Structure 1
Amino acid sequence: MDKAEAIVAALGGAENIIEVEPCATRLRTEVKDATVVDEPALKAAGAYGVLKMGTNVQVVVGTDADTIASDIEDLLEEE
């Protein structure tokens, strides 16, 4: 499983993700249900940190944020 797939799974799966936007070194995501977000799994997937504020989850991934966000958007389109 690649990094984008692991992040999607840790965010609760494609059906839980409303939006993903890259922002410098992080992925800004909005999820339907923040309680299913698996922070340890996000860190195992390579995230340096996770910030949760309600249904907004920021995943700190470093300078690969644009590439990872693009990969995640491709995965979400496949669903």
Structure 2
Amino acid sequence: MGEFNSVAIIEGLGGKDNIVDVQNCYTRLRVEVRDPSLVNEAKIQESNPMGLVNKGQNIQIIFGSHVASVRKK
């Protein structure tokens, strides 16, 4: 399991107040945000994800099979 930075994820998603919902599937953290303009992909990359899919208010951050532990943090 690689190292990740939960603070970078939260800041990259525009802060706690911008996060509406967080779910995960087997490999992806699926996040709904209020204001997509606050999302900073470069900041999210500091958390060392395997990938990132930005679909406006729906952001998917790919972490692999340890995504559940990322979600808990």
C-alpha distance after superposition, 1:2-52 (max 9, x if no partner): 622220111010000000011111100000011111111111211121111
| TM-score, scaled to structure 1 | 0.80
Long gaps (5+) in structure 2: none
Q: Which runs of 5+ in 1 are unaligned?
A: 72-79
- Kindly report which structure 2 residues correspond to 1:5-44, keeping only aligned pairs within 5 A, or say none: 5-44=7-46
Q: Partner residue of 2:6?
A: 4
Structure 1 SS opposite 2:49: coil
In the comparison of the two structures, how many residue pairs are matched? 70
CA distance in 2 between partners of 1:62 and 1:44 (Å): 16
Deviation at 1:54, TM superposition (A): 2.3
- The runs of 4+ residues in structure 1 deviating greater than 4 Å are none
> Taking structure 2 as the reference length, what is the TM-score of the superposition?
0.86
More helix by share: 1
Identity %: 33
CA RMSD of aligned residues (A): 1.2
